[in-house]
Structure formats: structure tokens, C-alpha cells
Amino acid sequence: MASDAAKSESDSAGKAEDTTKTTEELQSLRLIRDRRSIREFTGERIPDEHIEMILEAARHAPSPENMLMIRFIVIRDDKEAKEFLADIAQEMAQTAFGGAPFELTSGRNWFINDPYRAAVYARLRDGELFRYPEKSDAVIIVCASEAWHDAGYLYPNELFGSVVAGMAVQNMWLTATELGYGCGYEALICSDPRHAELVRDKLGIPPIWTPLTAFCIGKRISPRALGPSRAPLEGLMYEERWGYPYKRLAFRKEEK
């Protein structure tokens, strides 16, 4: 026990580990890389204890002055509500992906080779792929508020609630990944404000709370093998000033 307590001492206590770990050794980075969007679930039930661990992770999200301007509706037993969400998601996918020609938008899926890309795109347009709320065990409606308590005065930034919600979702996603479950972030249920109203009405969400996603958790049919890689650090980070690309340590060493 004593050694566990010592291990968990935080950086602020001046006890941060002084040995540099490789990226492979870092458990957090491994989990972050393993986390994927899963959209096909078996429909099986997950043990309640596991769902609660995942919810526990959400509770630990950081928030301005610990205000936690986020709320979660955990839907597990209400099949009809799950179908309702699946119907909305499919309809929205058909509208969103069916609205532009393949040639214009398929470039986003550059990581899928021909001829598979067209087939994947056809699935997006058909929208069936996005019906996954009905096959997941837990559908968590994540809501955020920009007007909760005095948040509107203290933090007059329209995105604060969503930032906190994003952190909570990522916490849940990583915990579920470690437990071996799949998760999908179904934003299509409220992309259209009219759908968001239907969701509010169905689930009784009060006006100052905004549903952001149906975050779906379930047993996955298979792990994702293929997926979007990420832009390199140079593509996302600047050094000291906007426009000066960050240079990875590996490249700096080469120059010496």
C-alpha cells in the first residue's frame, strides 16, 4: 500500500518521475493511440460495474472552478429511445453525406484505398452505419451548459461547457478502451437543431442544457484495423509563433 501511495504522488508534490519513458512505455499514450471510433456492436450487455467505472471517469473531468457544467443521461434499457436515436442519426447521415457528390467529399477518406473508398462512402450515404445507438449497450447523452449557475458571468465563452464535456467524453472513451469496449461519438443526433429539439423533448432535457452527443458504448464486433492516421506534429504545432513549424526532436538531433 505504502509504495502505491508513493507512486501516486503528483508532480505538484515535486515527486514526478525523473526517468524519461519512451512513448511505448507510456500507458496513457498507448491508450490514447488504441482508442478508436467503433460503430458496430454485438448488442450484448456489459457488466454494470464496468459502465459505472466509465461514468466515474467522466466525473473526474476538469472544469472551470470545478463547476462541472455537464450532465449525462445513461440509457441502457429503453430500446425504443435507442431506436429513436438511430433513426435520427441515419436520417442525418443521409442528408449530410448524400448532399454532396462523392468526388467532392470522398477526399476526406483518403486513408481508404480504391476501390474500397467508394463502398465505404456508399455506406456513409446510406446511413445504416450510424444506427449504432440501437446496438450499443449504453447510450450516454452528454449535455453541456453555458448558462449553468454563474458560468455565464464568470466564463462568457460560448464553448466552455462543450470543452468540459469533451474532456469527460475522452475520459470515458479511454477507460472503456482499457476495459476492451468500443465507443462511438454519435453527434449526428443533434447536428440539426430540429433533431436536437426532438431529443430534448423525448428525454426531458431543460432549455439551458444542450445535448451534444449520444456517446455509445458496447461490445464491439471487431477491433478497427484501418483508420485515419493523424497529421504529424509539424502539421499541427507551431514553435513560439504562428507559422513556424514545430520540429520533432528526432529531426533536431540529426542536425547536430
Ligand X SMILES: Cc1cc2nc3c(=O)[nH]c(=O)nc-3n(C[C@H](O)[C@H](O)[C@H](O)COP(=O)(O)O)c2cc1C
User: Is 120 exposed, middle or buried (CB count within 10 Å of its CB: 0-12, 13-18, 19+)?
Assistant: middle
User: Is 51 exposed, middle or buried (CB count within 10 Å of its CB: 0-12, 13-18, 19+)?
Assistant: buried
Please identify which residue in 43, 62, 223, 228 interacts with ligand X, judged by CB under 6 A.
Answer: 228
Residues near 102 by beta carbon (within 8 Å), at least 6 away in sequence: 118, 121
> Does residue 39 touch ligand X according to CB under 6 A?
yes
Please identify which residue in 187, 196, 198, 208 interacts with ligand X, judged by CB under 6 A.
Answer: 187
Cα–Cα distance measured from residue 215 to residue 220, given in angstroms and rounded to the nearest whole number:
14
Which range binds ligand X by CB under 6 A, 14-22, 73-81, 184-192, 241-249?
184-192
Q: How far is the CB of 146 from ligand X (least distance, A)?
A: 16
C-alpha cell at 63: 472544469
Q: How far is the CB of 102 from ligand X (least distance, A)?
A: 18
Residues between 188 and 217 that touch ligand X (CB under 6 A) = 188
Q: Specify whether the CB–CB gap between 94 and 126 falls below 8 A.
A: yes
Q: How far is the CB of 154 from ligand X (least distance, A)?
A: 25
Angle between helices 116-126 and 79-98 (to 10 degrees): 120
Please identify which residue in 133, 161, 184, 211 interacts with ligand X, judged by CB under 6 A.
Answer: 184
Q: Which is nearer to ligand X, 150 or 221 (CB)?
A: 221
Contact footprint for ligand X (CB under 6 A) = 36-37, 39, 130, 184-188, 227-228
